[in-house]
Structures are given as C-alpha cells and as structure tokens.
Copies of this chain bind each other. A is one copy, B any other.
C-alpha cells in the first residue's frame, strides 16, 4: 500500500519514527474488537529483540518500553486503531553532526541521499535502521495473540544458520521451548554455542556475519490466500523483505526443491485421525498460493551486517573520488539472533490479515 509505511489489507500496520528521532511507533488498524490486550503482551516480544542484552549484539542500551496510546479500553481492543509508541532515550549522540559524505558500503546511505536529497534523517540510520523493526513487533505481538486466541495458530521462528554453521537436525515442535534459551535463538544447544563463538570471532576481527532464520506456523486452516496476486507466498515474502538485510526467501523445499523430480517433490496425501494431510511438506503448507493445512515453513536469508569496523575503500559523494572509510560506533556483528521476533511478527500480521479477509476471524470477537 502506498506510500510505503503501511502493510496489510484488512489488518494494516503503519510504522513511524526514526532511529534517533523522538520516538518510534506503530498504528495497527483493523484489529477485531474484543481482544484482551496488555502492554505486557507486547513488551515481552519487544524484549526478545532488544539490543544490549548480551555480548553478541550492539551495546547501545535501549529501554524500549512500549506505551499504548489509543485503541484499548478496559483491557480490550475496541475496533479502533491501536497506537503504540516507544520514546527514544539513548540518542543524544552528535545528532546534528553533518551528514557523512563517505558512502558506507552495503548501506542505504547512497540511494537514500539521492532519493531524498538532503532531507533524509540520516541519524543512526533514520528510517532504515534495524531499530524500526521494533515497530513491526508492536503490531506483530497483537496479531500473534489474535491468531492464538481465535484459531489456535502458533508461529515460531529460530536461527538455523550463522555464517556457515548450520543446525544438524530438522526442526520439530518439541524444540520450540529451546529457542529462547540461548543468545543466538538456535534450538540446538551445541550448534548455538558454535554460532556464538563464530559471532564473537567475527566481532574481534571487526567483521560481521549473516545467517538464516526458519519460520514454522502451525494450525493454519485450509484456505488462506487470495489468488492470483495476494497469495500467501506473495504476501509473506513481501513482509519478509521489509526487514533490513533480508536478501532471500523460500517456502518448503524452496531452492533445493527446484533440483528434484516431481515424483520426489510432490507431497502425497494421506489421512490421519480423519484429517487429510500430506506425508511430506515440500510445499511449505501452501499450494496454489493457498494454505493447505500443513505447517507453513519458510527460510529467510540475512546478509552479513553492512557496518563493519574494518577499513574499506569507498567514494566520497562530494568529491566523487575514491577514499577509505572506517565505520565507527556501536553495531551488531550479526543481526540474525535478534530477527526471530521480527519474523514471527510479520508472519503473524500477514496470516491474521488473510484470516480476516477470508472470514475465518470475525471483526468482533
């Protein structure tokens, strides 16, 4: 939806704010009336993504306390837009220093400067900062609760790969409780440790790492998704690519599936306890753009963070000459461990949107 700060069709999240401005916040419009909601529901998910909580992420301290300023009355949603705000506190840093003219490789600096002329709020990344994903979580925490309460849908994501270190086993539902037991959000304890070491190692070198988040959503009813252009895959991928650093999205067997024969990749139907299911789930729970009742599975590729403290060659936009640059300040050597609540939020928002569109969730609970 234009102009770009909103996502969703029936359940619409509008994100506002800048990394070093007064506030960041979100308006969630279209949430059914009658959902019990509390700032604690939102805070809990926000805390899971907040920085400064451990060694591996940026040491900036952010209180990140969410405040609901509209749309909730007597502990329930009213059907009116729900507005949530976090007041930025830790942004005193030379806020008004002049715009850096040395282009940071991998950053949005350059296209943003060209697009918005000198008007872009560049402080701390402005609108392009990963910090803005907290606004997705504000709305997502509500959507996630809505899905749970109305349809029993659960969405969980976790770190399955950091750099070249990958989980050994396939994810299964029993692992859910292990996700938040370590700092990297990987449900395999041993792998999590190796991931942690590799991140600390990258930090030491002044370098950064990327990785992969996997997302699994269960109890999805059959029939969500509107062909042709509002398929579940279309809308989920659109949501995922709104997360900074995401460069790839695949469903089910994804890229690997494209190397298989049809006879290998097709999921065969069977009946279990009276319910039609498939024996495998290479489709990732989506056929023809519509949910088929199997878990929706997605893998999301994050590039290594652009901000590294190593010296890099670049160009000065003023002189249009080559020069070198060393990015200073606090930054995450790896953003992936902070991404699961963001992914969960956008998945929940998208699926709740479709559940409303298809009438599976009513406008008043």
* Partner-contacting stretch, out of A40-48, A50-58, A175-183, A205-213: A205-213
Query: B residues within 8 A CB of A73?
Result: 18, 21, 119-121, 123, 126
A4 to B290, CA, bound (A): 12
Question: In the complex, what residues of B have CB within 8 A of residue A254's CB?
Answer: 247-248, 301
In the assembled complex, the Cα of A3 lies from the Cα of B229 at a distance in Å of 9
Taking CB as reference atom, which chain B residue is nearest A243? B228
- Whether the pair B207, A261 counts as a contact (CB closer than 8 A) is yes
Q: Contact between A111 and B33 (Cβ–Cβ < 8 Å)?
A: no
Flag if B116 contacts A79 (CB, 8 Å).
yes
A127 to B105 CA separation, bound complex (whole angstroms): 44
Residue of B nearest to A232 (CB): B241
- Tell me, in angstroms, the Cα distance from A355 to B207 when the chains sit together: 36
Report yes or no: A301 in contact with B85, Cβ–Cβ below 8 A: no
Q: Which of A140-148, A150-158, A184-192, A280-288 is near enough to bind chain B?
A: A280-288
Residues of B within 8 A of A17 (CB): 69-70, 83
Interface pairs (18), CB distance under 8 Å: A2-B10, A3-B29, A3-B226, A4-B29, A16-B80, A18-B73, A22-B69, A25-B83, A73-B119, A79-B116, A108-B287, A111-B290, A111-B292, A234-B242, A249-B249, A257-B301, A258-B303, A274-B320
Q: Is A12 an interface residue (CB 8 A)?
A: yes
Question: Given A127-B227, A263-B207, does the pair A247, B258 have CB atoms closer than 8 Å?
Answer: yes
Contact B70 A301 (CB under 8 A): no
A112 at the interface (CB under 8 A from B): yes
Chain B proximity of A27: nearest CB distance (Å): 6
Size class of the contact patch on chain A: 35 or more
Determine which of B117, B202, B308 lies in contact with A364 in the assembled complex, contact meaning CB atoms within 8 Å.
B117
User: Distance (Å) between the CB of A122 and the closest chain B CB?
Assistant: 9
Q: A43 CB to closest chain B CB, in angstroms?
A: 17
Residues 1-40 of A, flagged 1 when their CB comes within 8 A of B and 0 if not, give: 1111111011110111110011111010110011000000
A71 vs B227: C-alpha distance in the bound complex, in angstroms? 13
A253-281 vs B: 1/0 string, CB under 8 Å?
A: 11101111111111111110010101000
Cβ-based interface call for A65 (8 A):
no
How far is it, in angstroms, between the C-alpha of A222 and the C-alpha of B113 when the chains are bound?
Answer: 10
In the bound complex, CA of A290 to CA of B112 (Å): 7
With the chains together, A11 CA to B3 CA distance in Å?
A: 7
Nearest first, the 8 closest Cβ-Cβ pairs linking A and B are A108-B288, A4-B226, A248-B250, A208-B262, A3-B30, A115-B223, A4-B230, A111-B290
Give the docked Cα–Cα distance between A29 and B14 (Å): 9
Residues of B within 8 A of A103 (CB): 269, 276
- With contacts A251-B247, A259-B163, A304-B265 taken as known, whether A276 is within 8 angstroms of B320 at the C-beta atoms is yes
Q: Which residues from B are CB-within-8-Å of A303?
A: 253, 257-258, 260, 265, 282
A261/B83 in contact, CB under 8 A: no
A81-113: CB near B (< 8 Å → 1, else 0) gives 101010000000000100000010111101110
Query: What distance in Å separates the Cβ of A150 from its nearest Cβ neighbour in chain B?
Result: 13
Given contacts A263-B310, A271-B322, contact A80 B301 (CB under 8 A): no
Cβ–Cβ contact B252 & A249, under 8 A: no
